[in-house]
Each structure stands twice: as C-alpha cells, then as structure tokens.
Amino acid sequence: MPWSKIKPEWNEPDFLRESRESQRILSYAEAVREALDQALALDSRVFVMGQGVDDPAGMFGTTLNLHKKFGPGRVFDTPLAETALMGVATGAAIGGMRPVYFHNRPDFLLLAMDQLVNHASKWCYMFGGEVNVPLTVWACIGRGWGSGAQHSQALQGLFMHIPGLKVIMPSSCYDAKGLFLSAIADPNPVLVLEHRHNFKHRGLVPPHLYQVPIGKGVLRKRGKDITFVAVSYMVMEAYRAAEDLAQEGIEAEVIDLRTLRPLDEEIILFSVAKTGCMVVIDCGWKTGGVTAEISALVAEKGMEFLKAPIWRITCPDVPTPAGHTLEEAFYPGKQEIITAARELLGRKRQIHGEKSENLRSWQSDGHRSSHPA
Amino acid sequence: MKIPQEIQIRLLREMLRIRLVQLKIESLYPLDEMKTPVHLCIGQEALAVGVCAHLTREDYISSNHRGHGHYLAKGGDLNRLIAELYCRETGCSKGRGGSMHLVDRSVGHMGSSAIVGGGIPIGTGLGLSIQMQKKNRVCVVFFSDGAADEGVLYESVNFAVFKRLPVVYVYENNQFSVCSPISARQAGENIFHSIAPHLMLTRKVDGNSVLEVYEAAGVAVDRAREGLGPSFIEGKTYRIRGHAGAGSDVHLGYRSREELAAWESRCPVASFRHHLLAESWISEESLAEMEKMINAEIEEAFRFAQESPLPCGEDLLQYLYRE
C-alpha cells in the first residue's frame, strides 16, 4: 500500500500511565479492532455496518475478519447510500440496537449530514428525552499520498458545532480502544474521528475491557512555561515539539483533548492559569474551527491568565492539495509548534513587561473612572 | 374480502375522531395560543386509519410533519398531543417538539421528522432493529409526495428490499408540496411501481377509500410479519387545507376552486359514513352518540392542555443527552 510510504510505524511515547497492568503493545488498528471485538462479544445489541467493513482490508484493519467471527448478520457491508444508511443506523438505535456505522472518510459524512445533524443529534432533545439514539459513527481522516481535497478533510470543527452530538478524537492506542468502548456504551450519538497517521502508532493496550471517559482531556506532559492544546494526531507532534523544547530549557505542557464535545474546559483553563500562554493545535482548518472555539473559551474565561496572545496552528483555509510539495506546505507539524513556542515565549516576556508598564500608566491616567463600578 | 361490521365502525370512528380533532385545532388556531406551525391532514384520514388498524401497540410507525393523523391512528395519547400543540410541559414532547415533532413511545410512535423524507430511513432502521431482534413487529413509514421527490426514498427502499425488512412504505400522495403540484416536480408515476413483484409488493389505492387502504395494508402488514419483506402502497389523496395553518388557501391561486371542490366532495370521512348508513350498519342516532363522545374527549384534551404548565426557561438545556 502506498500509505506505508507516507509515515513509518513508530512506538508511541510512554505517557506514564498510572495503571500499567499490562505491557502489551498493539498497533492502533489492533486496539480499535479489539474494542469492537469485545463490544460485539459483550452486548448482542452491538452491530457493525459500513461500506467495506467485511472486505479484505477491513477498514484499515479495524474490522478485519469480525464478520467471520460474529457472522454477516452483525458485521455487514452497506450500500453507498450515506444519507439513508445514517438514518437506518439512527432508526436501529431508536429500536434498541447499538449500531457502529463505519465511514472510510469524514468527507463522505457530508452526504449523511441530514440524518446525523437534523435527526440523530436532535432526537433526544426534540422529543423531551422520550427517545434516545445510542449510535456510534466512525470515520478516519485521510492524509498524504495525494489524497487531495475530497479524501483528507478534517471536519471536526463542523461536527463540534452540533448540540447533541459527542465528538471524540483519540490520539493514543490506549484511548483508541477505551474511548471507542465508551462511545459504543454511550446512550447518545457519538462521532469517533480517527486520523490516518495514528494508524502508524504502536502503544500500550491492556487486554481487558476498559473505558476512557468521554469529555475528559489528559496531560501528556507537564510543564510550566507554555500550554500546548492539541487534537488527534497533532498531540504527537506537540509532544515531540515539547521534548525538543525541553532541550532548550522550555517546559511545555501538552494537553490531549481526546473529546471535542463535550469539551474539557477545566484542563485547558487550569493549564493556562499556570503557564500564561497557549498554542492551540488542530489538524483541521482555522476559521470557525476547533482552535477558534478553544481560543474563545480562554478569552472568555481565562483572559486574566494570559501573558501573551493565543497562537493557533492549523491547516490553512484552502482545500487539501494533492501534489506532495503543496501537501508539505499544507500540513503543519512539530517544527511549526517549536517556532510558535519560541516566538510566543519571547512575546510573553516582552508583553508581560510592557503590560505592567502600560497598566501602571493607564491606571494613573484615571481611565478607571470611566468604568462604572 | 369482507371486512367485519365491527371493524368498519371502528374505522369510521377513528377517521371521525381525527377529523374532529383537527377541526377543533383549526377553529382555535387563530387565537394564537397554539404557537406552533400546524400541518392539518384534513381529507387524508383514510390512509392513517386504514393502515394503523392492522398494527399492534408494539409495531412502529415513522411519521412526518403532517402527522396528527398518524399519531392518533396509532393510539397516541390525545391529551398529550393537544398539550404539545400548546407547547406545555405535559405535551408528548414536553413542549420541546411542537406540532411537527410528536412521539408516543408507549404505542410505538418513535418520533416524527419535519425534514421532508427524513423519517423514511429511520423507519427503515426501525425495521432493521425488528429483524435483528427477531421480534414479531412491523414498521410503517408514512411519507408524502414531497418526500417522494427525495433521493433518500430510493436509498431506503433499496436497502429494505435488499434486506427483506418488515417495513410498509405508505406513500400519501396528497399532490402538493407547499404550493407546488406534483406535476411540476415529478416526471411520471413513482419508479417503485415498476419493481419486479418478487422483490416488493406495490399497490396503488384510492387514498380516500378507507376500505381500499385497509385491504392493501392488511396484505402488506401480513407479508412483513411473515418475513416476506417490504411493501410500497401509494394512496392518492388530496390536501384540502393549505400547507400550514388554519383555513383554505384557495385564494392563493395555485389550484382552482373547482379542483378543490371536486376533492371535497370525495371526503373520505363523509363518504364512508354515507356507506355505513346505506348498509344500515350504523344508525344516525349511534353516529350522533359517537360524535358526542368524541367531542367530549376533545374538550377534555383542550382543557387539559390549556391548564397545563409551560416549560420553565431554567430547563432549557435539559434532554440534550440521555444520561
């Protein structure tokens, strides 16, 4: 597969897990597949549907041969009709099942927006809690090898906008399994957005059934100088940037959000309160997206903590180009994060100094009196 | 097929009840106390009643924005329907849904969609859930000619045929989408009437004849229960009132007074009432008694709704998720 040429396989950093019951290492795809395998074995209401879930590639290996183990009644291929099949999955969930609907790419979810946004996400609220929709939708963001404008969109900003829809984006093998199991067990619609590059990871995955809570971020690295808030694959880039910066004596704190909605506001604000500056890093677009929302959160609730402007690192606001030289320019990574951190810390020192000066002169000019108490 | 007298009287009673509920809604709607866009199904009662007469409480239906008739025919609670129109906490959707979003889980009404065609795949998915859980149930999907414009109908029916799902698609062809006649939107008759009979049963019936609807639906529901797969029933009917709100909209000029009058003279309730009287299966006296009882029930439902509390603003965020 050409994919194998894009990015070598590598072991995840050891995130110093508290419960290290197991030293077993799995690939990301194996972790996702194990979650499905265990969910199917545990609960007869769970079933897996989607175009190609029973084909020889098995959805990047995540559904590989599950149809042989659980039968074609519980793991089955679907027509390409994304609109109807999203509604079918929603209806099956309303009727008491726990569907897991696989989409090769988030780009194809756009065909299913009516059922996902107008129906599944609203059904519980719209009927005063009378009916709920325990639906899991899975899609994998593509990247590289000329996938281009319609096979590599990272649309989390779009989905994060929708009340009633939970959006999770794991970055580690451990979370890929644990969050997926939480999604399947959740009585509400949950969208799992994976990233193709995560599938090159190998990491610690305990063999037993466990859940990682939806709505909780995690600190991947502690630090006091600057906060990196990152999503999905960009967590790894942020972590590697933080490791390099440590060589220069800069201590960056790395937050892996894991869930975009509901957002773990506390972990972000707590960290920014400590460091006073933040870089927000997403693998999607900038305008109206994930980084915009997180920046707004800090501006609204943590302005007094900030000692420097917020810095956002995203893909630029253009469709993904196919050509590899343009692709290279399109995707930010570790180096952009390092550059941002250095720049921002410089500004933090400078602005913080200036700010204290300005504040003093502002107060002495009597500006305060213009604000009613 | 000879339909027993008792069933025929029940069909009339159900149609009359739906009609009287809607006339009452229509008469009070101008007071602006029901602050929700109502879509009346006056003139279309025979389809909901003739189909739902074959269903048990455990069977499912999927309904649409013009769904008062489906809700009542399936056995939905009348008090909670009217309370929903008044957007009260006691409404079937606790005032969160309004007229277009009705639900009564206790009778298998799993919610109605106001996105035209939106309920079609959901009903198909309910059919899938029945099949996977090996339950002796069926799901009826009600949709209109507007929904037949949508590609999701094709996608859904294909899936149901492919999986042999226990779903009955009931195409209520009322001939209008807002002010656009079907002749301005569709090239010819629905493509599913051309499907091979071994793949799916399709029928065209007079949607204003409750007996024709009842017979066709009986065959379709039985087939679904026997695991023979989906059916597709088109009932041609007519939207007597405007798209939304109360009263006639004939002054808008998109349809003629003659056309409307012709369809009004084919009223499904009046014609069936006439039929039962002519057969001497019901008397004027018992009809009057029936109407009196229904009206008393309706009065009580409106009183219940008007006296019910409105939802509190403080509870705005409630029900977004099931905990």
CATH number of the domain where residue B299 is located? 3.40.50.970
Bridge partners of A191?
A: A137, A167
Does the residue A269 lie in any domain?
A: yes
Q: Tell me: pLDDT of A54 over 80.
A: yes
Query: For residue A356, what pLDDT band results from cuts at 50, 70 and 90?
Result: low
Range of the domain at B36: 5-310
Enter the DSSP assignment of B320: S
Residue A217 has a pLDDT of 98
Residue A367 has a pLDDT of 43
* Number of domains observed in the structure of chain A: 2
Residues 6+ apart with CB under 8 A from A304: none
Mean of per-residue pLDDT scores for chain B: 96
Q: Are residues A150 and A245 in the same domain?
A: no
Sign of the alpha-carbon dihedral angle for B306, B307, B311, B312: positive
Q: Are residues A188 and A248 in the same domain?
A: no
A205-257: pLDDT as tens digits: 999 999 999 999 999 999 999 999 999 999 999 999 999 999 999 999 999 99
Query: Nearest-CA neighbor of A192 among A333, A78, A31, A81?
Result: A31
Q: Classify burial at A265, counting beta carbons within 10 Å of its beta carbon; exposed 0-12, middle 13-18, buried 19 or more.
A: middle
Residue B72 in contact with residue B81, Cβ under 8 Å? Answer: yes
Residue A16 has a pLDDT of 52
Sign of the alpha-carbon dihedral angle for A364, A365, A369, A370: negative
Q: Classify burial at A312, counting beta carbons within 10 Å of its beta carbon; exposed 0-12, middle 13-18, buried 19 or more.
A: buried
Residue A369 has a pLDDT of 39
Does the residue B319 lie in any domain?
A: no
From A290-304, A348-362, B201-215, B265-279, the region with the lowest mean pLDDT: A348-362
Q: What are phi and psi of A279, to 5 degrees?
A: -110, 125
Cα B209 off chain centre by:
15
A343: domain CATH number is: 3.40.50.920
Region B91-111: what's the mean pLDDT? 97
Does the residue B127 lie in any domain?
A: yes
Does the residue A210 lie in any domain?
A: no
Range of the domain at A66: 21-204
Query: For residue B67, what pLDDT band results from cuts at 50, 70 and 90?
Result: very high
Q: Are residues A168 and A292 in the same domain?
A: no
- Residues of chain B contacting residue A118, judged by C-beta atoms under 8 Å apart: 113, 115, 118
Mean of per-residue pLDDT scores for chain A: 91
Q: Are residues A152 and A285 in the same domain?
A: no
Query: Distance between CA atoms of B132 and B165, rounded to whole angstroms?
Result: 10
Residue A373 has a pLDDT of 33
Choose the catalytic residue: A151, A195, A197, A201: A151
Query: For residue B183, what pLDDT band results from cuts at 50, 70 and 90?
Result: very high
Does the residue A371 lie in any domain?
A: no
Query: For residue A146, what pLDDT band results from cuts at 50, 70 and 90?
Result: confident
Residue A144 has a pLDDT of 85
Q: What is the dihedral of CA B94, B98, B101, B105, to 10 degrees?
A: 30
- Residues of chain B contacting residue A125, judged by C-beta atoms under 8 Å apart: 96, 319-320
* Number of domains observed in the structure of chain B: 1
Q: Which of A204, A230, A252 is the last residue of a domain?
A: A204
Lookup: tokens for A261: 């909605």
**What ipTM did this prediction achieve?**
0.96
Residue A290 in contact with residue A322, Cβ under 8 Å? Answer: no
CB neighbour burial string for B184-207, b if at least 16 within 10 angstroms, e if fewer? eeeeeebebeebeeeebbbbbbbb
Q: Are residues A146 and A239 in the same domain?
A: no
Query: Distance between CA atoms of A178 and A258, rounded to whole angstroms?
Result: 11
Residue A8 has a pLDDT of 75
Query: Distance between CA atoms of B195 and B201, rounded to whole angstroms?
Result: 8
Residue A350 has a pLDDT of 84
Does the residue A4 lie in any domain?
A: no
Q: Regarding predicted confidence, which is higher, A13 or B191? A: B191
Does the residue A209 lie in any domain?
A: no
Residue of B nearest to A78 (CA): B159
Does the residue B320 lie in any domain?
A: no
Does the residue B321 lie in any domain?
A: no
Residue A14 has a pLDDT of 74
Q: Tell me: pLDDT of A365 over 70.
A: no
Region B133-162: what's the mean pLDDT? 97
Residue A85 in contact with residue A116, Cβ under 8 Å? Answer: no
Query: For residue A12, what pLDDT band results from cuts at 50, 70 and 90?
Result: confident
Q: Are residues A196 and A242 in the same domain?
A: no
Query: Distance between CA atoms of B219 and B228, rounded to whole angstroms?
Result: 11
- Residues of chain B contacting residue A90, judged by C-beta atoms under 8 Å apart: 121-122, 125
Tell me which residue has tokens 């100088």. A225
Q: Are residues A200 and A297 in the same domain?
A: no
Query: Distance between CA atoms of A233 and A49, rounded to whole angstroms?
Result: 25
Query: Distance between CA atoms of B155 and A321, rounded to whole angstroms?
Result: 32
Residue B166 in contact with residue B138, Cβ under 8 Å? Answer: yes
Query: For residue A351, what pLDDT band results from cuts at 50, 70 and 90?
Result: confident
Q: Tell me: pLDDT of A325 over 50.
A: yes
Q: Tell me: pLDDT of B66 over 60.
A: yes
Region B178-203: what's the mean pLDDT? 93
Q: Tell me: pLDDT of B220 over 50.
A: yes
Does the residue B318 lie in any domain?
A: no
Query: Nearest-CA neighbor of A219 among A254, A266, A171?
Result: A254
Residue A11 has a pLDDT of 85
Q: Among A126, A214, A261, which would you mutate to test the B interface (most chain B Cβ atoms within 10 Å of its Cβ)?
A: A126
Does the residue A248 lie in any domain?
A: yes
Query: Distance between CA atoms of B297 and B288, rounded to whole angstroms?
Result: 14
Q: Are residues A274 and A350 in the same domain?
A: yes
Residue A368 has a pLDDT of 41
* Cβ–Cβ below 8 Å for A126 and B94: no
Does the residue A2 lie in any domain?
A: no
Residue of A nearest to B111 (CA): A127
Region A125-137: what's the mean pLDDT? 97
Does the residue B323 lie in any domain?
A: no
Tell me which H or E stretch contains B221.
helix B210-225
User: Percent of chain B beyond pLDDT 90?
Assistant: 98
Residue of B nearest to A123 (CA): B111
Region A325-347: what's the mean pLDDT? 95
Q: Are residues A304 and A260 in the same domain?
A: yes
Q: Are residues A161 and A241 in the same domain?
A: no
Lookup: tokens for A193: 């957005």
Region A88-98: what's the mean pLDDT? 98
Region A49-56: what's the mean pLDDT? 95
* Cβ–Cβ below 8 Å for B121 and A86: yes
Region A35-44: what's the mean pLDDT? 98
A38: domain CATH number is: 3.40.50.970
Q: Tell me: pLDDT of A370 over 90.
A: no
Nearest-by-Cβ selection for B322 from A74, A78, A187: A187
Region A121-136: what's the mean pLDDT? 98
Question: Whole-prediction pTM value?
Answer: 0.94
Does the residue A6 lie in any domain?
A: no
Instruction: Say whether A151 is catalytic.
Output: yes
